[in-house]
Structure 1
C-alpha cells in the first residue's frame, strides 16, 4: 500500500494544467476579446429591425406613383360624355370625309350635266349619311372603350397600390418581430465573449480539481486499508426454544424432588430461582 500511495504522490504535481491545455484556454480568451467589434453591428441590426427594417421607406413613392397614374387618366377615366363631336380632331376628320363625298358626288352629276338637280341632292345626302354614320358610331364606341379601359386600369392600379402597401406593412411588422427576437440573440452574442472567458477560467480551475479528485478516489480507500479501530460492544445471547424447554424441564424436576423429599416451599423457590 505504501508503494501504491507513493506512486500516486508522484502524480500530484501533474494534476495542474498541461501546456497544451493552458495554451488552448489562453487562445480562447484572446479570441473572446475580438467579439466586441461586432457589437455595434449587432445593436444596429436589432435597432433597425425594431424600427421596421426600412420596410416602409418606399411606401410614399409607391403611393405617389398611383397618384400620378390617377392624374394621368383624368378626365378620361371619369368622363361619361361619349359624344364623338366632343372628341378632339373628330370634327375635322368628319368635315374632310363630307367634303370628299360631296366633291365626288357633285363631280359625277356635273359630268352628266345634272348638277344641282334633285337627284344630285338626294344622292349627295345619302352618300354623306352612309359615309359619316359608321365614322360617328365607331368614334362613339371608341370613346366608351377608352373611358371604360381607363377606369378599369385605374381600379386595378388602386388594388395593386393597396396590395403593395399592405405587403410593405406586413414586412414592417415581420421585421419588428424579428427585432424582438434579435434582442435576446444580440445580448447572447454580445455576452458570448465574456461567457466563453468564464468557461475557460472555470476549466483552468476545474481540470486540476478533477485530476486531484481522480487521485483521491484511488488513494483514500487504499490508505484506509491499514487503519485500526478499538471499542467495546455488548451482545445479548438469545436461547433457542430447545434450550429453554430443557431448562424448564430441569427446573420442574427439581421442584418435583423438592416436593417429595423436602418442603414444598423449597421446591417452589428452586423453580422460581430457575425462572
Structure 2
C-alpha cells in the first residue's frame, strides 16, 4: 500500500539597488525623462545650420563661376605663350640687322666703307711731304725720291691696312657670336614660356577640381546641416540612454512556482484512513 502527496509553492523576490540612494536615482531618472523632449535641434542650432547653408550657397554662386573661368584659362595655358610671336619677331629683327655683318667673309679693308678715302688722304699727305723735301733739294723725281716715297707709303699705310683687316675680322666674329647667343636666348625664352604653359595647365587641373568643389559647396553644406539635424537628437538620446539604461538595470524582481511531492508509508496511510472513518462515524 502506498501513496503520494503533492504540494505546490510560489515564491517572489525583489532586489532594490541601494535603498539609501533611491531618492537620488529617482531624481536622475525624472530629469532624464524630462529631457526626452529636449533632444531635438534647438532654435540656435537650427539658425546656425541655416546660416551655414546660406553662406555656402552665396559663396558658391559668387565664386564658383570665377573659379571655373580661372580653371579654363589655366587649362588653355594661361596666356603663357601669347608673347611668343613678339619674341620671335624681335629675334628675327636682330638677325636681319646683324646678319650682313655676321655672315660676311670678305675682310678686304678697301671694301670697308670710308677706308679708301682715309687711305687716299694718307697717301696724298705722305707723297706731298716726301716730294716736297726732294724738290726743295733739287732732287725731285730722282731714284732716291721714288725709294723714299715707297718706303714712306709702306710705313704709313701698312699699319692702317692691317688694323682695318683685323678689325673687320673681329667685327664679323663678334656679330656671329652675338647672333648665336641671341638664338640661344630666344630658344630659352620660348622654352620657358612653353614650360609655363604646361605648368598653368597642370594648375588648371587642380583649379577645375576646386571649381567643382565651389559649385558643390551649397549642396554639401545642406547635406551636412541635415545630417546634423538628424544626428543631434540621436546623440542626445544616446547620452541619456548611457545614463538611464544602467540605472534601470540595478533593480531586479523574480517570481517562481515550486512543486513538492512526499511519499507516505502504508502505516501512515492506514492511520489517516482509520482516523477519517472514525470521524465520519461520530458525525452520523
The TM-score with structure 1 as length reference comes to 0.78
* Corresponding residue for residue 31 of structure 2: 7
- Report deviation, 1:116: 2.1
* Corresponding residue for residue 83 of structure 1: 108
From 73, 78, 84, the counterpart of 1:59: 84
Q: Distance in 1 between matches of 2:95 and 2:27?
A: 101
CA deviations on 1:46-76 (whole Å, 9 max, x unpaired) are: 1111111111111111111111111101211
Q: Quick check: 1:131 aligned with 2:156?
A: yes
Q: Quick check: 1:122 aligned with 2:144?
A: no
* Corresponding residue for residue 112 of structure 1: 137
- Report deviation, 1:90: 0.8
Listed as ranges, the gaps of 5+ residues in structure 2 are: 1-24, 259-284
Q: Quick check: 1:22 aligned with 2:32?
A: no
* Corresponding residue for residue 42 of structure 1: 67
Higher strand proportion, which one?
A: 2
CA deviations on 1:99-156 (whole Å, 9 max, x unpaired) are: 1111111222222222222212211111111111111111110111111111111111
Taking a change above 3 Å as real, the CA distance of residues 232 and 70 of structure 1, as seen in their structure-2 partners, is farther
Q: Distance in 1 between matches of 2:180 and 2:100?
A: 15
SS in 1 for 2:99: coil
SS in 1 for 2:214: helix
Q: Which segment is superposed worse, 217-226 or 10-19?
A: 217-226
CA deviations on 1:236-259 (whole Å, 9 max, x unpaired) are: xxxxxxxxxxxxxxxxxxxxxxxx
SS in 2 for 1:73: helix
Listed as ranges, the gaps of 5+ residues in structure 1 are: 234-275
**Greater relative contact order (Cα < 8 A, sep 6+):** 2
* Corresponding residue for residue 186 of structure 2: 161
Q: Distance in 2 between matches of 1:4 and 1:88?
A: 114
* Corresponding residue for residue 201 of structure 1: 226
**Count of aligned residue pairs for this structure pair:** 233
TM-align CA RMSD? 2.1
From 166, 176, 187, the counterpart of 2:201: 176
Q: Which segment is superposed worse, 15-24 or 123-132?
A: 15-24
Q: Distance in 1 between matches of 2:47 and 2:69?
A: 35
SS in 1 for 2:101: coil
Q: Distance in 1 between matches of 2:187 and 2:193?
A: 10
